[in-house]
Structure 1
């Protein structure tokens, strides 16, 4: 939250099936900045309405300090300070999008070019919790702070459940992992999705998706993908069993796989790896929201025509859900096209609604190629 507290929603009282309402906890609570509960669990109507598809909701902090909360097929803009529902957008067409038929969700990169207004995408999902469930290829994109927000529909090249969305420093979104059939849970998915998908939010509708590299490792239940400091993505997991299983069976061929992979985006492939900004120096590692400025010095290739400064908050990741992750593109002054040495003045966002406090990684991105990131703290 903007004040550094934590909004925690949904969950189970005992870890058993959400099909039995007595197991469920469709409430939210607030934790203080030290992670201690404020002591009250508050019922949330959206979660109750969505049972048993109420767990692991998609939640994004908006530029006005309110929350976008999505579960199953429904969403709302929610004011935590007053415990009020501000608006309820229409249902997202398609199948269920949250656990146990989780798709993926991302808050697209924020910038002053659209006044920091949030644009959210949700893709994938499925019909029911069983290995026979089809998965949904459709995507919805929405601007929840519009006067009358509506879903712009698009489609991935294939249906996927348990698909993860990773914000990349060049402004694209990497989608990977998951399955083309089944749902979340032990031994409940098949037809692993091996290919990476890249989504370009700036491209025209119908041309935003491209297919990237493929893995040979099934990444099913309890898999994970994380953006690293060097701009690559670590991919791990695939534990579709309650306990590790190292030998496949005819009935279920997917073992617990402990291998870790590194995905290298196109912006670091070939000669691009030699075009990184280098010698990056930030004037401070303690950044303050509220339009405060800081300085960035770096070296770039002489041919570079654009530079972006991209703070990234990785958030908290589980069950293909990337909670709180966001990326910002900050306003800069002083860029000199053609100069190999750059001295930039960078402006922070206007408030902590846009950049909530916590640890971030700052990348310098020159013509789409990121530097090695540096950890900073935002307050």
Structure 2
């Protein structure tokens, strides 16, 4: 990829320009597989303008969406000081953005939500004083954005940066909120320079407390050390036993944060590289008590090297990392994709979209955009899980995002594959900065389904505890409704096709009254914070596959 050949099996294959690193054959991954057209593929519709190029995003507890970008020499919004804004707060109700200010460059940051619901952006890159002298060094930056479902006075307030910093510089880090509210932050570059020069890299982790303050200590992490230079923006998922599933390059493990130990190492995922700069998408599939909250993880897409000619990988691996004989089950999409991101939809299916069929992450390094949405149903047998949904006509390449909104639709925006914004395509720059915000309406809200929504949803409490306690939810359903599900949904911090902290748990319910249009269910919360780490969640009531408009709750 970088003209670099390491000494782990994850460095072997086409992407290793020095040739195979180890003796033995490289296990082949499956090629493209058919994905028949979905009976109802949903639809895309442009609804607004983002105000700033969208590199990072998150659904806030007020129902609005935070967009966060790097320092640019042009955006659609300006701040009171006359400088361009690099962050905005977008209101899906009006489709209008409001400019937000920050103090340090958030270029390729990571992030998560604190236990109290505060949106957190971690790390970044150097200042660019020749563009904006008011923005400082973001390599160790920690930025806070507080919003509330009950306090509208917070809306539109700028990012807070009280001055506390990360223990070390991190460009391209990943983050995960743990069961006790602490934040695990891992990986990154010390300076954004050539990652084949190991002194440029930061293959370590650090812990932030529940208020987002760093312990001040960076600890080497073996899986990151071994997989340099492919180690940035690792996929991380908190599992029901408290361990972290960590995936980087082609390698994965279970990691015990408390003891700083690797509990288990898995076989490499066949195929190309899956993390930056050949990032695919990874999703922790919906959790439930039906299988004791056992996790199931899918990883799709990727590529061979960091270049515009790189082939992309259509294959997907799926693994149950806590299973006794955990192994990758291989599947594939209908085409290779890089920068494809998977997002859980309200009905428990997964949508994969955005990205390209050739190239890699980086400015000007991808082409052949992939326009169609792919719908993945994890409950179906292998070979029958994929269908093809609607297509957009907007290229969503480097620096684009997708995330689920309260109403169950998917917001899709971004694509800024140029070093500084370019507004008109040319032969040299065919893919330019795109500010358009699209809404993808899933099949469950198309046509007659839109009239089947549950309504009048009321929760007995919006302060919930992940300790097996119960709450009630009442709602109205159409005549003839058959069954309801209730879920906790956390969208996480979205960037570079990585959805940090993203998860969904279907909760046990009781009290459904057959034939009644007025329903009140008793809902049992997950047993602990490993299943539902503290923070803001959306409760969705889903009746016969159609979700009501979600409501934010705070889980502790």
TM-score by length of 1: 0.99
Alignment root-mean-square deviation, CA: 0.7
1:271 correspondence with 2:454:
no
**Cα separation, 2, equivalents of 1:267 and 1:338:** 22
Deviation of 1:85 after TM superposition, in Å, equals: 0.5
Q: Give, in whole Å, the separation in 1 of the partners of 2:263 and 2:476.
A: 47
- Equivalents in 1 of 2:272, 2:514: separation in Å? 48
Question: Gapped runs of 5+ residues in structure 2?
Answer: 1-177
Pairing partner for 2:352 from 142, 164, 175: 175
Bigger drift between 356-365 and 336-345 goes to 336-345
Q: Note the 1:344-359 alignment, pairs <5 A.
A: 344-359=521-536
Q: 1:308 aligns with which of 485, 493, 502?
A: 485
Which structure would you say has the larger Rg?
2
1:328 aligns with 2:471: no
Could you tell me how far 1:347 is from its partner in structure 2?
Answer: 0.1
Between 32-41 and 98-107, the greater mean CA deviation after superposition: 32-41
Q: Number of residue pairs matched?
A: 379
Q: CA deviation at 1:22?
A: 1.4
**Contact 1:89/1:148 (<8 A) preserved:** no
- Tell me the equivalent position of 1:366: 543
Please give the per-residue CA displacement for 1:45-81, whole angstroms capped at 9, x wherever unaligned: 1001111110000000000001000000000000001
Q: Deviations over 1:198-252 (max 9, x none)?
A: 0000011000000001010100000001100000001000000010001212133
d(CA) in 1 for partners of 2:274 and 2:361? 11
Q: Of 60, 69, 76, which residue of structure 1 is paired with 2:253? A: 76
* CA distance in structure 2 between the partners assigned to 1:312 and 1:203 by the alignment: 22
Gapped runs of 5+ residues in structure 1?
none
Q: How does 1:6-85 map to 2 (within 5 A)?
A: 6-85=183-262
1:133-282 map, 5 Å: 133-282=310-459
| Cα offset, 1:307, TM superposition | 0.5
What secondary structure is seen at the aligned counterpart in 2 of 1:22? helix
Tell me what 2:269 maps to. 92
Q: What is the rounded CA distance, in whole Å, between the counterparts of 1:15 and 1:294 in structure 2?
A: 48
Corresponding residue for residue 375 of structure 1: 552
Q: Deviations over 1:308-358 (max 9, x none)?
A: 001101111111100010001000000122210001000001111100000
TM-aligned CA deviation for residue 39 of structure 1: 1.1
SS at match of 2:226: helix
Distance 2:461 2:525 in 1: 12
Q: CA deviation at 1:20?
A: 2.0
> Which shows bigger deviation, 300-309 or 220-229?
300-309
Task: Choose the corresponding residue for 2:514, options 302, 325, 337.
Answer: 337
- The one of 175, 178, 182 equivalent to 1:5 is 182
On the 8 A contact 1:297/1:342 being kept in 2, the answer is: yes
How far apart in 2 are the matches of 1:187 and 1:137?
21
Any conservation in 2 of the 1:137–1:159 contact (CA below 8 Å)?
Answer: yes
Equivalent in 285, 293, 314 of residue 470 of structure 2: 293
Distance of 1:327 and 1:219 partners within structure 2: 25
Q: Deviations over 1:248-267 (max 9, x none)?
A: 12133111111110000000
Deviations along 1:132-185, one digit per CA (max 9) or x if unpaired, are 000000000000001221000000111100001110110100100000000000
More moved, 334-343 vs 171-180 = 334-343
